[in-house]
């Protein structure tokens, strides 16, 4: 039966062998991917898709502003104290 130290040494050798095999296979796979990209002329957008375009104003842009203090609220989350019991439309930014 192998000793603890012998098993650890075999484990380290096996870990190194696994890492070497992983690197070799990864290099081969990457070379294959690069060859395919070059052969078909793929662009980064083809591979990864395009970024989503924003839907207008930022969702955290202030929509309401207190005229005296300048505090703002984007319309999300709890209503601020300065708007409680009031019509928010009178505080809308860009009326």
User: Each residue of 63-86: pLDDT tens digit?
Assistant: 999 888 989 988 888 999 988 888
Give ∠ CA 26-31-32 in degrees, rounded to 5: 100
Q: What is the pLDDT of residue 61?
A: 83
Least confident of 33-37, 42-46, 51-55, 62-66: 51-55
pTM: 0.48
CA distance 62 to 76: 10
Q: What is the pLDDT of residue 95?
A: 56
């Amino acid at each position: 039966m192998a000793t603890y130290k012998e098993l650890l040494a075999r484990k380290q050798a096996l870990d190194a062998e696994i890492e070497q095999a992983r690197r070799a296979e990864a290099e081969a796979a990457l070379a294959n991917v690069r060859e395919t990209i070059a052969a078909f002329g793929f662009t980064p957008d083809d591979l990864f898709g395009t970024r989503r375009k924003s839907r207008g104003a930022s969702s955290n842009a202030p929509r309401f502003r207190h005229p005296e203090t300048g505090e703002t609220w984007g319309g999300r989350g709890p209503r601020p104290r300065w708007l409680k019991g009031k019509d928010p439309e009178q505080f809308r930014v860009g009326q």
